[in-house]
Chain A
Amino acid sequence: MTERDTDTRKPSPGWIPPMELELDRAAPVPAEEETALLTGSGDPADLLPAPATPVRTTRRLGRWLFGALAALVLVALGFDTADLLARAFATSLALGVLVGLLAATAGIAALAMLVTELLSLRRLRRIEELRAEAGRLELDAPDGRADRFAGSLVALYADRRELAPALARVRDHVTDAHDEHEVVRLLDREVLSPLDRAAYQRVLRASRDTAVATALSPAALLDFAVVLWRNLKLVREIAALYGARPGYVGSLRLLRRMLANIAVAGVTESAHHVAVEALGGSLAAAISTRMGQGVINGLLTARVGLTAMHLCRPIAFGPDNRPSLNRIRKELLSLPKQVL
């Protein structure tokens, strides 16, 4: 009868009997986190635990090569600039001052760009951290972490005027009785779903633009350029919408990760759909290859946009609010009829 034995064991020392306690010593539940949530300040991102860093398998040799080359170029630039300055001063004082000013301006501008790039990269990284944290909160919910999460999210959107009513609503709704899962869901519904709608509209518009541009452009090179430019613009728009505001490096990084995602997630699937829909679905597309190409390019742009939405959203999409390609597909397929 082992069960009986375990039944008769003494209460564990950690057990506390029900009782009433002093009123004055009690504090509202997550004191520090709630102030962070309310004020949206205090840099609650610092409270977030560091996200698990993925194991990097970069090729070290390549890194050394690029580093050394960059250093070489920098040194050469420095020598050249110094040389140029010396020669300018040797020619005349006025020319020397002018060249010196130009060099200083270029240096400062480069430094400023570097700083903004770094800042934007940090913002992007913070969104990624937030998404990882939200995923962890969905799985298991340790006490008080959701409030920190909410604080970071609110801080991210604090200076967005159009989101102020939504944030106020969330502050109004969240009580001490909501658990972490519910707080995350509330933020998702109240703050992010309007952003989702706006982002989806932009994806729709961009994919229509590329489709039309491809269909109408006379040269292949031209529409390649248009598609590239429109995709880059779309990615930056979506990232800015979700609060990332990426710089050039950030956009490139996003684009790179997106290309990887698209390649992994479903080029085959998309190609299949695209071919079936474009060729079988619409007679007009079958007649006009340019139209067909336009539709295909539009769909690819849409795919890029949706992937950007996935990558930039601070809380990952759930099964019921995932943006779908279907509506865009329908819209694009009705396009040839409109144009013809």
Chain B
Amino acid sequence: MRIPDLNSLYDAGSRLLLESTVRVGVTGLRRAGKTVFVTAIVDNLLKSGRLPFMDVVSSGRFQAARLRPQPDPDVPRFDFEGHLAALTGPDPHWPEPTRGIGQMRVSLRYRPDSALKRTVQPMATLNVDLVDYPGEWLLDLPLLRQSFADWSAQTLELAARPPRDELSASWRGWLATIDPAAPAEEEAARRGAALYTDYLHACRRADTLLSLIQPGRFVEPGDMKDAPLLTFCPLHGAQPNGSRGRGSLWALMEDRYEAYKTNVVCRFFAEHFARLDRQIVLIDVLGALNAGPAGMADMKRALELSLEPFRHGSSGWLDWLFGSKIDRVLFAATKADHIAAHQHAQLRALLDRLVGDARNAIRFEGAQVETMAIAALKCTDSVVTEHEGRQLRCVRGVPVGRDRPTVLFPGEIPEDAEAFPPGRDRPYNFLAFRPPDDLGRDPRGLPHIRVDQALQFLLGDYLT
């Protein structure tokens, strides 16, 4: 028998006692900037040169941070090095978006603030586990409360309305040709699911940036691509008595829908979501503004649905199901560098209005909520220029796909008013900018806007 080394035992024990761990969930709908955000915070924590608003750094108590092996061996690791290389390499470009869940552990060492803590441990360690998962997965949660018949009716109704009616034409055309009561054929189910998935993908690609996509795994399958669990779609013809013949197509789809709920939705929430301590929700408000009123309305609806799990208290059944312990939630409007700096306050006010309902609900539950306008990677500068005798505040940067910088006036978000003033066609034009050159040479970390304040809100109380 191997006798355990006393030293290593002591180490393990002290680690158990003296290291604390916080799980931070990073989520957001597609293109909200999750990948870049996680890359930026890890890089900034490692280099800690641009974090003046983190108390632990500005008071000089911060020692160092380094990457450590993540605690869950069955979750894919966030490819930090690859994404950082894409941003800082010789030809800087935006990293490939991550699909599915990713995890990363950063350990921070710091000197505790209080004298009492310092006598116990002169140097404390905080393990920050960053869990990055698609916001689409949160959209699945409302499914738990819906039967297949309800969900079908609702989805079909939504698909028939503009702007989705054109995108769903081929799928709805197929629906018209089949009879849900007919005996089930795998071929038909696969065909239906494929068409439905195409429709969802088309929604995501659409100019209007439709965000309400259910079930989320159809477009972000993670490791479940082509599994029978993902081979179903909403069907016409829910019958009031609900009795469909055994072995019919309807029964097959309904079974798979229920299996999806138990095996995918419940599992995700129990294994990942319920274990989070902190959550940051990234929201691409500017993208929705770019997309116009329809895109904005769609995103608002998607937000409302995806924020459901955070108001677990309002629907008591979620409490016992997941027992979420998230006590701080941060809503962040990303890509704030696409507008001039003086507009950040308006962007934040707009975000406040968007999430106002959810925010109140979360506050009521006793968790702290904050909203911010951030940019994980600052690609532009604010500049002043003159136009027809007026001073205009613009942004200067290199748009994606070009190699010369440009000065862009993207439109101004009005203060205290509708984001889409009537009578103005396309009031906004936010361009995507390229990451600046030579980011890798800066020893201070990636330039950002308010990422340090976001970190202070999310981790500040752990680092005292």
Write the residues of chain A forming the contact surface with B, with a CB cutoff of 8 angstroms.
7-11, 15-23, 25-31, 141, 143, 169-170, 172-173, 175-179, 182, 185-186, 189-190, 193
Contact = CB atoms under 8 A, between A and B. Distances in A.
B341 A20 contact: no
A11 B341 CA distance: 24
Contacts of B427: 17-18
Contacts of B340: 29
Given A29-B383, A175-B447, A177-B378, A23 B58 contact: no
B76 interface: no
A77 to B, nearest CB: 56
Contact of B394 (A21, A170, A186): A21
Contacts of A11: 421, 423-424
Among A20, A22, A169, A176, the one with the most B-chain Cβ atoms within 10 Å of its Cβ is: A176
Contacts of B457: none
B393 interface: yes
A175 B378 contact: yes
A28 B424 contact: no
Nearest to A12: B421
A113 B386 CA distance: 51
A141 B345 CA distance: 10
Interface in B16-45: none
Given A15-B424, A26-B383, A189-B58, A177 B52 contact: no
Size band of the B side of the interface?
35 or more
A31 B384 contact: yes
B367 interface: no
A9 B423 CA distance: 7
Given A18-B429, A173-B52, A189-B58, A25 B386 contact: yes
A177 B407 contact: no
Given A26-B385, A175-B378, A21 B409 contact: yes
Nearest to A14: B390
Interface string B375-395: 100100111111100101110
A29 B342 CA distance: 10
A31 B385 CA distance: 11
Contacts of A193: 59
B456 to A, nearest CB: 11
Residue with the greatest number of chain B CB neighbours at <10 A, chosen from A16, A26, A193: A26
Interface in B427-451: 427-429, 444, 447, 449-450
A16 B409 contact: yes
Contact of B407 (A22, A176, A179): A22
B120 to A, nearest CB: 21
B406 interface: yes
